[in-house]
Structure 1
Amino acid sequence: MSIPLTLGLWVLTTYTTHILSIVTGNDSWVDRAWSIAPAIYVASLTRWDDPRSVVVAAAVTLWAARLTFNFWRKDGYNPRSEDHRWAYIRSILPGPLYTAFHLVFISIFQNLLLLLIALPAAPPPLPPRASGPQPWCMADTAILIVFSILLALETLADEQQWAYHQLKQATTTTTTTTTTTCSPEHRRHIALGFCTTGVYRYSRHMNFFAEMGIWWCVYAWGVVARPHHHHHWLNPTLVGPLLLTLLFQGSTAFTESISAKKYPAYKIYQQTTSRLIPLWPGPPLNININMNLPAPPPPPRKQQ
């Protein structure tokens, strides 16, 4: 475990993403670091003779590998790709204001947050006369189970979102195969413009819910590792998952404001489905709207 190494890596990441953003005019360089930097920070903080610390590092590495793959297949690592929300913000903020926003929020705050969510993984100093780190216990096992469920849930949510957008893209390109195999129900779902089935019937942002929960699990592991520390339930590393949770509240509201303008049915979806926390859903959307999709070809005539 090396705190100076972790801080050095953070400075390097922050400086690199900021400079690349300025040089290329692309503000998604921090997005490209989002799934990679926390895993590197956690690895640099790991005490390799502590089973709990090793498990946390392994769990975060699995999270990072899955999220990196998901970002890669969406072409996120293409230097020319950029989150559409940055362009939207540039369009509504004057130049000097956006420059300040870019420096303070995109480059500094987001990179700082990636460091803060990793800090709970740092093993605490050993108390006097301690024979070793706090041993693995039932609480650790419970946290590992919850972490695994949340990771599986986030994976499922991203897979369903990916499948939906792949079908949407294939259908709107109007190939004979997709128009033949796409059922009227699927065509109606595609015409909505956003996924409302699967886990997205229970939460409009199931992947966000799982993401927040994953980092609260990392914090909980840090709490279990500090049973002899004063106020161990409210230790300073709480700042990381708390800020992440607050960030998701703001980014979700901002993203939904764009979606509501883009898709006519989104406001109805907001009324029938929970925002983040999975809850029992309302009735599925079944709205008569202009789908703007080509009609499927008629079935082939039977030969007589």
Structure 2
Amino acid sequence: MDISLICKVLGTSEVFVLSQIELTKQFMTGRATFLEYYVASYPFTSATLFHVLLMPIVFITGVLTHDVSQVDRLWSILPTATVLHYAIHSYLNGIGSLRLYIYLAIALSWSIRLTYNFARKGGYNGYEDYRWEVLRSKMSDFQFYVFNALFISIAQLIILLCITAPAVIFVDVGNEGLYTGDYVFATLLAACVILEAAADEYMWNYQSAKHRYKETGEVAKGFTEKVLKRGFCTIGIFAYSRHPNFLAEQCTWVVPYLWSSYLTGKLINWTVIGALMYVCLFQGSTSFTEEITSAKYPEYKDYQKTVGRFIPNIGSHWVEVLEEDQGTNAKL
């Protein structure tokens, strides 16, 4: 491990990094109590240790249960728990700030809403994300085993750790008063949570209506038979963005980084890694999701040509037409 490289990335001293390593060793060997370690350690250090200890647990659980959605079940909970950790740590050290508590409150609203959405889809009832099954079918058992270890159980937890890193900047800034920019970024962050909630609710209503139509032939209010037969949602906010919920989700963790940049007065700081990894993750996972969807619904390719993946195309959106009209969509 190149300590000097770590120090350069974090913008800190080698003495500090070595002290954190020594403190962690003392805790792991029983020479320091949990409370002593917790209060004395740098909050990102203790958060990192927790995520590292969690990695073999989710991997072993996934192998034993043949269900690799263990991290999926932590996805809406772990980031907020980490931000809560930063808030508690800063409070115990007498440097808690209203800024950090506001961030925690918004993160908590994101967590509650996303956990509820995941639960009502059966996420905590033995449901494994369908994409893992598709990916499993494309790999040998050994390849998927390695993928489970390196990406699902390790990389994903690293991402969940790093997306909350801007809160460490809030801790470092301390309990100074709020600036105008704090109100702006808090409002933007809350708007992201609201947008994602609205998009997920609309998609839930569509999927519920689609399944009801398949079972009973009933067309729910607000939908048409043609829209439900198509199999994927193209109306409402989804007429302008194919994944407005994914857009809002990415922004939910990019905005805190921009907030931290505002506080430091620097466009780039070490916590950018979390925002970058999250955006890259969604680029890859969305491409894989759309590959599955377009194979299932041929008309999805037309939808892709008309509607932007995340950001709406200027002057173009999906237009539903009557059965007797020519064509399937039009560009405005």
CA contact (8 A) 2:44 2:165 kept: no
Of the candidates 223, 227, 250, which is equivalent to residue 212 of structure 1? Answer: 250
Q: Which amino acid aligns with 1:260?
A: S
Deviation (angstroms), 1:3: 3.3
- RMSD, matched Cα: 2.0
Q: Could you say which residue in structure 1 is the equivalent of 2:82?
A: 41
1:19-34 matched pairs, under 5 angstroms = 19-34=60-75
Instruction: Tell me the TM-score normalized by structure 1.
Output: 0.85
Deviation (angstroms), 1:233: 1.9
CA contact (8 A) 1:202 1:274 kept: yes
How far, CA to CA, are the matches of 2:229 and 2:302 in structure 1? 14
1:118-133 matched pairs, under 5 angstroms = 118-123=164-169, 133=175
Q: Does 1:74 align with 2:109?
A: no
How far, CA to CA, are the matches of 1:112 and 1:11 in structure 2? 8
How far, CA to CA, are the matches of 1:266 and 1:68 in structure 2? 29
Q: Percent identity?
A: 35
1:69-218 matched pairs, under 5 angstroms = 69-79=116-126, 81-123=127-169, 133-174=175-216, 178=218, 186-218=224-256
Q: Which amino acid aligns with 1:281?
A: S
How far, CA to CA, are the matches of 2:197 and 2:68 in structure 1? 26
Instruction: Tell me the TM-score normalized by structure 2.
Output: 0.78
Q: Does 1:50 align with 2:85?
A: no
Measured against aligned partners, the alpha-carbon deviations of 1:190-244 in whole angstroms (never above 9, x if no partner) come to 11101111110110000010011111111122223324xxxx3211100001111
How far, CA to CA, are the matches of 1:75 and 1:39 in structure 2? 21
Deviation (angstroms), 1:285: 4.4
Q: Could you say which residue in structure 2 is the equivalent of 1:273?
A: 307
How far, CA to CA, are the matches of 1:244 and 1:71 in structure 2? 19
Change beyond 3 A, Cα 1:162–1:40:
same
Measured against aligned partners, the alpha-carbon deviations of 1:160-212 in whole angstroms (never above 9, x if no partner) come to 0000000011111116xx25x668x6111011101111110110000010011
Of the candidates 47, 52, 69, which is equivalent to residue 6 of structure 1? Answer: 47
Q: Does 1:235 align with 2:269?
A: yes
Q: Does 1:246 align with 2:280?
A: yes
Measured against aligned partners, the alpha-carbon deviations of 1:144-175 in whole angstroms (never above 9, x if no partner) come to 11112211110110000000000011111116
Measured against aligned partners, the alpha-carbon deviations of 1:112-170 in whole angstroms (never above 9, x if no partner) come to 1000001111136758xxxx544211111111111122111101100000000000111
Structure 1 unaligned blocks of 5 or more: 289-304
How far, CA to CA, are the matches of 2:259 and 2:111 in structure 1? 18
How far, CA to CA, are the matches of 1:61 and 1:8 in structure 2? 22
Runs (4 or more) in structure 1 with deviation over 6 Å come to: none
CA contact (8 A) 1:206 1:278 kept: no
How far, CA to CA, are the matches of 2:191 and 2:170 in structure 1? 26
CA contact (8 A) 2:166 2:257 kept: yes
Q: Which amino acid aligns with 1:102?
A: N
Q: Could you say which residue in structure 2 is the equivalent of 1:62?
A: 109
Q: Could you say which residue in structure 2 is the equivalent of 1:282?
A: 317
How far, CA to CA, are the matches of 1:5 and 1:141 in structure 2? 29
How far, CA to CA, are the matches of 2:167 and 2:226 in structure 1? 46
How far, CA to CA, are the matches of 1:249 and 1:32 in structure 2? 21
Partner SS state of residue 277, structure 1: coil
Structure 2 unaligned blocks of 5 or more: 1-38, 324-332
Partner SS state of residue 233, structure 1: coil
Aligned pair count? 275
Deviation (angstroms), 1:58: 1.2
